[in-house]
Amino acid sequence: MSQSRAEPFEKLPGIAGFSMSGQRAIVTGGSKGLGLAMAQGLASCGASVMIASRHVEQASAAAAAIADHFNVPTLAASVDVTKEEDCRKMVDLASERWGGVDILINSAGINIRGPIESLSVDQFHQVMETNVTGTWLATRAAVGLMKANGYGRIIQIASTLGMVGLAGRTPYASSKGAIVQMTRTLALELAEHGITCNAICPGPFLTEMNLPIADSEDTRKFLIGAVAMGRWGRLEEIQGAAIYLASRSASFTTGSLLVVDGGWTAR
């Protein structure tokens, strides 16, 4: 049973507010990259974690490794977030096995790069469908259970490119700008139900998505010239943001953008 209502927050001072024992989390896109790192972070705090991914073998392996390392219940689900039925089944599985959902991290996303005239309309639609529609569908599927419990933590994965521009990224930047506004709107819509909605805006992390450009001269110049820390983010460096926003300690934080970008947007 969830402990979301078990104790008033004022009786959980300090570090105790970050315990997620009894909390039930879904992480879409959780089989690798930032999604996996955030799933591991929640599990380290005691949360039960479902890894949802189109790649069910990877999801199963990730879930098994998390269960073994952190000794928490885990589930794996084959989910294409662009499909309404998949999102419904994902939440139904959490409800059947765990009785509800307390935390949702929408980390599933793709990136297609290039100058606008080199990209097809289909490519633009593909990015928007996964990053925006997929986030919306997964959130819509989960909010009913959260409302019933009077508690929820929704974390959207936006990007610094939802805040600033970068040439050659029109599909991705457009999608992440939409996520920023979706986050703010949902925060207003869901606040009365005890549900918070916030976004993490990662900067340059060396994920599989970024491997194609990792060793280019332009990328090296960008990291040195635009990122104050002059390097790629490490996957574990996203965990603190996710743990905070997923915790009971974030009870008065909603509609916020938590930027984790090595100082990129500080310039």
Task: Determine the residue type at 119.
Answer: L
Task: State how far the Cα of 100 lies from the Cα of 172, in Å rounded to an integer.
Answer: 32
Task: State how far the Cα of 76 lies from the Cα of 27, in Å rounded to an integer.
Answer: 10
The reply to whether 244 belongs to the active site is: no
**Closest to 19 measured CA to CA, from 252, 260, 258, 244:** 244
Task: State how far the Cα of 206 lies from the Cα of 208, in Å rounded to an integer.
Answer: 7
* Of 70, 172, 205, 232, catalytic: 172
Beta strands in 125-216 (DSSP E): 152-157, 195-202
Under 8 Å CB-to-CB from 247, ≥6 apart: which residues?
Answer: 17, 18, 19, 20, 45, 153
Task: State how far the Cα of 100 lies from the Cα of 93, in Å rounded to an integer.
Answer: 9
Active-site positions read 172
